[in-house]
Amino acid sequence: MVTDNLRPFYVHEITLHGVKSKEEQFQTLHPTFYYTLNAIPDGMKLNASELSTKRTPKKVKKKTVSKKSVAAKNSAKAKILTDEEVAPLLTNNTCIACHNKSKRVIGPSFQEIAKRKYTNEQIVELIYNPQPKNWPEYATPMAPMPQVPKEEALKIAAWINSLSD
């Protein structure tokens, strides 16, 4: 985990989105914690280039969209992933903790969601802002998942929609 703007003697509120257990892929039950920071150790900050972003891709800011991410976005539109290709996205973004392709689990199956005929963009929006009232028969509401990178959300959305036919 990487953080910034820490101040000694202040209580810090920290929210860890997307942290999950290795085996079952469960998300933390309480992703937010509060801690009083008593001392910051001496020494230099870690250079950002040394950070691994493998599991927590940095959000690409709108203003600085790189050619690479534009290409990723376009190819997301052009090409629908296979089940094998989408699997790591569903795993890394913890979707599989609650969703299955064809079976109801904690959340509706992706095939069931496909029947709602959302556009890809609507699905992306629902990942960021779920509407539990759309699924009154599900006891546990889905938490908003703003940490899912947009390109990945779009690829997942296109794959979900491909399941309707």
Q: Which residues bind ligand HEC (CB under 6 A)?
A: 27, 93-95, 97-99, 106-108, 113, 116, 123, 126-127, 130-132, 134-135, 138, 140-142, 145, 148, 156
Instruction: Give the residue with the Cβ less far from ligand HEC, 76 or 107.
Output: 107
Closest alpha carbon to 148 in 122, 117, 125, 118? 125
Instruction: Give the residue with the Cβ less far from ligand HEC, 7 or 55.
Output: 55
Closest distance of CB 122 from ligand HEC, Å: 9
Closest alpha carbon to 95 in 46, 157, 45, 33? 157
Closest distance of CB 121 from ligand HEC, Å: 12
- Find the DSSP H helices in the chain: 67-78, 83-92, 110-114, 120-128, 150-162
Closest distance of CB 70 from ligand HEC, Å: 22
Closest distance of CB 114 from ligand HEC, Å: 9
Instruction: Give the residue with the Cβ less far from ligand HEC, 69 or 125.
Output: 125
Contact (CB, 8 A) for 127 and 145? yes
Closest alpha carbon to 25 in 101, 89, 81? 89
